Amino acid sequence: MTETPSYLFYQSRNPRPFLDRGEGIYLFDESGKRYIDGSSGAMVSNIGHSNPRVLAKIKAQMDKATFGYRLHFRTHPSEDLATKTVEMTPDGLDRVFFVSGGSEAVESAIKLARQYAVTQGQGSRYKVISRFPSYHGCTFGALDLTGYAPLREPFAPMMPGMPKVASPATYLDRDNLTEEARGLKYAELLRDKILEEGPDTVLAFIMEPVGGASTGALVAPDSYYGRVREICDEFGVLLIYDEVMTGAGRTGKFLAAEHWGITPDIVALSKGFGAGYAPLGAIVAGARLVEPVLDAGGFLHGFTYAGNPLACSAGLAVLEELQDQNLIENAARMGDVLMDELRALMDRYPFIGDVRGKGLLTAFEFVSDRSTMEPLDPALQAHSRLVELAYERGLILYSRRTRGGTSGDHFLVAPPLIITKDQITEMMVILRDALDAFALEIGVPVEDAA
Ligand SMILES: Cc1ncc(COP(=O)(O)O)c(C=O)c1O
């Protein structure tokens, strides 16, 4: 059979089969092959695929109006989604601005921060400190905050080069500090950086509360979060949580910030917020930031498709589903089950050096030596090889280079929040089979379970 020519170009040459349909945690290609969506796409499909209640609500909106430009009309789906979002986020976050994706949310967060500073007579503040490694998006503003070398390099001359501090990768540290002291040590890096840059030039600090694509579900010690908040307050630096991946219940709370009782000044949401039913994102901020900007003439920012009624009706239906089906609680419960299963893999596979995460945002990382945490030889391309072996067997995983994009291999395991214990067992059978095949390929003997 001859292939129909394709005029579409993708990020790379890696042709995949055509998707036919989705159902719960499963996806089916046109040959009928079934895949467990072990990464919810790119940590997007939080409520699973083809949820009939959500589809019905989207269709009902479709029958009324799919688009009404926000400068011409208010719409109930966008107002209602804003209300529900505020209801589900911690007190103090009570203004919502819609966008259509994660990079747009990050751009919006830093532009709101900047406009707020200008209204406060603090026009000298323009630097946004971020962490390395990190991922905040691919548009220029968001990319400049991103700490992932290969994605930045070609574009570096086109960006101002915002300051970076190290992400708290404490699992790599070989010191005698307690976890608490390590968390504080990493937080102090932010304080040092603010002082080095000049506090009156620093506008904001942005962080993923639980790391995503670039670090593989990295969680900082508890002491880090509160101390970072204190440092930001000390210098009048706005704290932005990029919850594009962690938000909307993924970690077992609606916002990951809630695990540490932190109220950021601005939160960026996307991915699980629309859960794959519509391109959707948002920033959520306090009225204290938004009202002065509106008083001063308005937010000088906006995307044409943002806040359209169709996308907002999808988002509203997704949040209702999270609540009605107790999916955030399920993420916390199933996250514990999954984490235990992943940790158990370390007994069999000597090349798994670390397992980490929160709720259903979990990851494991390969190393060549657990005592030094040296990564595997980058030439093995382990991050893409294991993904292929799992894909062949019907399990979708998401992987990246761990150490700033140049070496290290981690794999995110982040299934839809509807997953059951039996389905986790089913997923682990395929994962073990793929890991066995990988071990054989690289010639590392596995330990037989007792
Ligand atoms: C934490 C974080 N921020 C921002 C983004 C960018 O989102 P998008 O790809 O929807 O633009 C991502 C995407 O992976 C992300 O994980």
In a domain, 250, yes or no: yes
36 shares its domain with 184:
no
Measured between its terminal Cα atoms, the distance across the chain in Å is: 49
User: What is the residue with the minimal CA distance to atom 8 of ligand 1?
Assistant: 102
Q: How confident is the model at residue 4 (pLDDT cuts 50, 70, 90)?
A: confident
365 shares its domain with 260:
no
* Selection from 135, 243, 122, 262 nearest residue 187 by Cα: 262
pLDDT surpasses 60 at 286: yes
190 shares its domain with 297:
yes
pLDDT surpasses 80 at 2: no
Domain holding 221, by residue range, is 55-324
Cα(31) to centroid(ligand 1), Å: 31
* Residue-level pLDDT at 165: 98
Q: What is the CATH number of the domain that holds 414?
A: 3.90.1150.10
180 shares its domain with 262:
yes
Model pLDDT for residues 369-416, shown as the tens digit of each residue: 999 999 999 999 999 999 999 999 999 999 999 888 888 999 999 999
In 26-94, at which residue ranges do the beta strands (DSSP E only) sit?
Answer: 26-29, 34-36
Domain boundary at 300, 324, 348, which?
A: 324
Q: What is the DSSP string of 205-226?
A: EEE-SB--TTTTS-B--HHHHH
* Selection from 215, 195, 189 nearest residue 136 by Cα: 215
User: What is the average pLDDT across 131-157?
Assistant: 97
Is residue 441 left, alpha or beta, with left meaning phi > 0 and alpha meaning psi from -120 to 50?
Answer: alpha
pTM for this model (two decimals): 0.98
In a domain, 383, yes or no: yes
Mean pLDDT, the chain, whole residue set: 96
Model pLDDT for residues 419-428, shown as the tens digit of each residue: 999 999 999 9
Strand order, beta sheet including 361-366: 352-358, 361-366, 409-413, 398-400
Q: Which amino acid makes up residue 85? A: T
Cα(213) to centroid(ligand 1), Å: 9
User: What is the residue with the minimal CA distance to atom 16 of ligand 1?
Assistant: 245
194 shares its domain with 283:
yes
Domain boundary at 296, 324, 352, which?
A: 324
pLDDT surpasses 90 at 299: yes
Mutate to test the pocket of ligand 1, among 110, 134, 136, 267 (most ligand atoms within 8 A of CB): 136
Separation between Cα atoms, residue 263 and residue 258, nearest integer Å: 8
* Residue-level pLDDT at 450: 47
Separation between Cα atoms, residue 398 and residue 276, nearest integer Å: 16
User: What is the residue with the minimal CA distance to atom 10 of ligand 1?
Assistant: 102
* Least confident window among 1-5, 296-300, 420-424: 1-5
Cα(43) to centroid(ligand 1), Å: 10
Cβ neighbors of 352 (< 8 A, separation 6 or more) are: 345, 346, 364, 365, 366, 367
